[in-house]
């Protein structure tokens, strides 16, 4: 049981790092945050319900660790310097220059979103969480997830020069959508 848990945590490390970079905007701080998350997850592994997905549980630990770190930093008065982290996220050297440019522009546009929208966009669009799972990770209502995601998507399409159409949001009716009563 414990070996399976550890293997699943290892498999989710890239997802944790991606989300950590979206929060911290610095690869070195993201790595520290992932390490803290894994340590907490291993210490609290008996609290994990194996009938549920592991990713939302880990992402919630990561987000709470980030909030704790931000509180500590604000109490100390330290500043976090924003570095250009998009180069660290793009790892496919075989991708065409146009694709790499589009990915870079999209990642930069995501970083300009307000924190609430950015969190939802990353969790749903990048990490593939359902609306319900994202709501649980962020401890907000599912309707709030849906409205922040809609506003975030609109802002992203405008930022990267895409004219939104009805097809742009067709995936909002796929299996990721869950009604508040579910």
For residue 43, the model assigns a pLDDT of 94
pLDDT digits (tens, 9 = 90+) for 117-163: 999 999 998 888 999 999 999 999 999 999 999 999 888 888 888 77
Distance from CA of residue 95 to its chain's centroid? 23
Taking the C-alpha atoms of residue 20 and residue 8, their distance in angstroms, rounded to an integer, is 18
pLDDT digits (tens, 9 = 90+) for 25-60: 888 999 999 999 999 999 999 999 989 999 999 999
The secondary structure element, H or E, covering residue 166 is none
Taking the C-alpha atoms of residue 9 and residue 15, their distance in angstroms, rounded to an integer, is 10
Residue 115: closest CA among 103, 104, 127, 123:
123
Taking the C-alpha atoms of residue 25 and residue 180, their distance in angstroms, rounded to an integer, is 32
How much is the mean pLDDT over the chain? Answer: 80
- Cα–Cα distances (Å) from 149 to 13, 21, 41, 167, in that order, read 24, 19, 28, 16
């Amino acid at each position: 049981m414990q070996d399976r848990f550890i293997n699943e945590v290892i498999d989710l490390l890239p997802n944790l790092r991606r989300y950590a970079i979206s929060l911290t905007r610095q690869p070195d701080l993201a790595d520290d945050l992932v390490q803290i998350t894994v340590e907490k997850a291993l210490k609290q592994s008996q609290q994990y319900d194996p009938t549920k997905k592991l990713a939302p549980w880990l992402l919630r630990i990561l987000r709470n660790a980030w909030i704790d770190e931000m509180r500590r930093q604000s109490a100390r008065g330290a500043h976090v310097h924003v570095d250009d982290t998009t180069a660290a996220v793009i790892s496919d050297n075989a991708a065409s220059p146009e694709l790499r440019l589009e990915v870079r522009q999209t990642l930069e546009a995501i970083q300009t979103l307000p924190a609430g929208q950015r969190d939802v966009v990353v969790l749903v669009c990048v990490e593939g969480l359902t609306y319900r799972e994202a709501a649980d990770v962020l401890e907000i209502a599912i309707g709030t997830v849906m409205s922040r995601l809609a506003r975030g998507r609109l802002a992203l399409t405008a930022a990267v020069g895409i004219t939104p159409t009805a097809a742009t949001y067709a995936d909002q009716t796929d299996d990721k959508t869950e009604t508040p009563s579910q």
